[in-house]
Structure 1
Amino acid sequence: MLSSLIPPAFLMLALAHFMALLSPGPDFFLITGYAVRYRLAGSALICFGIASGNAVYIALVIGGWQVLKESHVLFSAIQWGGAAYLLYIGYHLLKSRERALNWHTASEVRVSKGKQFFLGLASAILNPKNALFYMSLMTVILGRQVSVEQQVFCGVWMVCVVLVWDLAVASFLGHSRVQHLLSRKIHRIEQMAGGVLCLMAVFLFISV
């Protein structure tokens, strides 16, 4: 029965999770940097990669978060790798320059599907705050009495919400009318996204 899969605290968890999505983070600015230039066709698989990365951390929380938590070396390595990755992506977005957009071919995929997916996957996995966030949601909100089946149900729900939300953001930013309004400012938006990612990377380096 579906009702048996829904834990008592599900609504609280779903609300907390969605509120967190409204707060722009590295994933949001990565999507922004690509969607404003390449539309949905050039950023959709970034969204799938991000959702997959979130799924990895949710699986870790369900299957044995304690292993990762107790490995200080591994956790620090993820932090350093994440900071370096954000700095790399941010640097390339900062180099964006104004150039004319061909509205007949703007929806073509100029970023390979494999690269899109990897960009999103790496963005999510190399952000250990995702792991901390899901650990707090799955343990503090759901409590000790939650079953594995209920955890899996909540995990699938959150991954789907992440995917739908990111696709909605990419679709909005890639809409032709939005792009026409932003046509002269697209490179500025990319630079802003790059700057934010670089600042996040610096903050991570300092906090490691």
Structure 2
Amino acid sequence: MLSSLIPPAFFLLALAHFMALLSPGPDFFLITGYAIRYRLAGSALICFGIASGNAVYIALVIGGWQIMKDNHALFLIIQWAGAAYLLYIGYHLLRSRQRDLNWHTVSEDRVSKGKQFFLGLASALLNPKNSLFYMSLMTVILGRDVSAAQQIFCGVWMVGVVLIWDLAVASFLGHSRVQHLLSRKIHRIEQIAGGVLCLMAVFLLVGV
């Protein structure tokens, strides 16, 4: 039963999604700013808010799937655009250079749980790259023959991975040794992630 929910391209989808998570974006720096001062207790609900925002975009992609699936020309255009977008992300990650991370500061007052969640939700929803990224993953990698159940399974997986990753980041970034390590090695992580995404995009473009 479980095997029927896992599409053939699930591994590629999971790998591309995780590679993207390794690159710090707006969500990463939001979590960092609060985790450094308040640790996990003051940033956990930010992580839940970010995961919820990602879930909204994934649901929108799944909801419009049938329209794209039944229109071959539209689906082909989206496939090429999605692969090009993955290549664009990978290219910029490959150009990453060593730099000091801009650790944000926050108010001395403890942030309420409601505000934490709203900050995370807004961060995810107000980043238009999220919608393009999930559209790229769901259309380019999964292909036209994936079922609705398989899409939902992949969507739940990605939301879960986002939440677990963000909680892990919040848990560890309060330690000074971790902060120092990231400031020296983050560009290497970005370069590796960029290389993987570029290779995947080229492979998908050739196979379209």
What's the TM-score, normalizing by structure 2?
Answer: 0.65
For 1:50, the equivalent position in structure 2 comes to 50
- Separation (CA, whole Å) in 1 of partners of 2:178 and 2:136: 38
Q: Does 1:120 align with 2:120?
A: yes
For 2:135, the equivalent position in structure 1 comes to 135
Q: Does 1:173 align with 2:176?
A: no
For 1:37, the equivalent position in structure 2 comes to 37
- Structure-2 change in CA distance of 1:25 and 1:110 (3 Å): same
Deviations 1:82-104 (A, max 9, x none): xxxxxxxxxxx86769x8xxxxx
For 1:89, the equivalent position in structure 2 comes to none
- Structure-2 change in CA distance of 1:95 and 1:48 (3 Å): closer
Deviation at 1:64, TM superposition (A): 1.9
Q: Does 1:144 align with 2:144?
A: yes
Q: Does 1:17 align with 2:17?
A: yes
Conservation of the 8 A alpha-carbon contact between 2:45 and 2:120:
yes
Deviation at 1:173, TM superposition (A): 1.5
Deviation at 1:11, TM superposition (A): 0.2
Deviation at 1:110, TM superposition (A): 1.1
User: How many residues are paired up?
Assistant: 146
Deviation at 1:14, TM superposition (A): 0.1
For 1:156, the equivalent position in structure 2 comes to 156
Identity %: 82
- Structure-2 change in CA distance of 1:116 and 1:3 (3 Å): same
For 1:7, the equivalent position in structure 2 comes to 7
Please tell me the root mean square deviation across aligned C-alpha atoms, in Å.
2.7
- Structure-2 change in CA distance of 1:146 and 1:38 (3 Å): same
- Separation (CA, whole Å) in 2 of partners of 1:150 and 1:14: 13
Partner-residue secondary structure (3-state), 2:123: helix
Deviations 1:87-137 (A, max 9, x none): xxxxxx86769x8xxxxxxxxx81100000000000000011000000000
Deviations 1:29-85 (A, max 9, x none): 000011001110000000000000000000000002779xxxxxxxxxxxxxxxxxx
- Structure-2 change in CA distance of 1:126 and 1:96 (3 Å): closer
- Separation (CA, whole Å) in 2 of partners of 1:161 and 1:61: 18
- Separation (CA, whole Å) in 2 of partners of 1:144 and 1:43: 38
Q: Mind listing any 5+ residue stretches in structure 2 that lack a counterpart?
A: 69-102, 184-208
Structure 2 matches for 1:76-95, cutoff 5 A?
Answer: none
- Separation (CA, whole Å) in 2 of partners of 1:5 and 1:159: 16
- Structure-2 change in CA distance of 1:110 and 1:151 (3 Å): same
Deviations 1:144-199 (A, max 9, x none): 0000100000000000000000000000013xxx15x699x9xxx9xxxxxxxxxx
Deviation at 1:17, TM superposition (A): 0.2
Conservation of the 8 A alpha-carbon contact between 2:34 and 2:105:
no
Partner-residue secondary structure (3-state), 1:144: coil
- Structure-2 change in CA distance of 1:3 and 1:39 (3 Å): same
- Separation (CA, whole Å) in 2 of partners of 1:64 and 1:157: 19
- Matched to 1:133, the amino acid is F
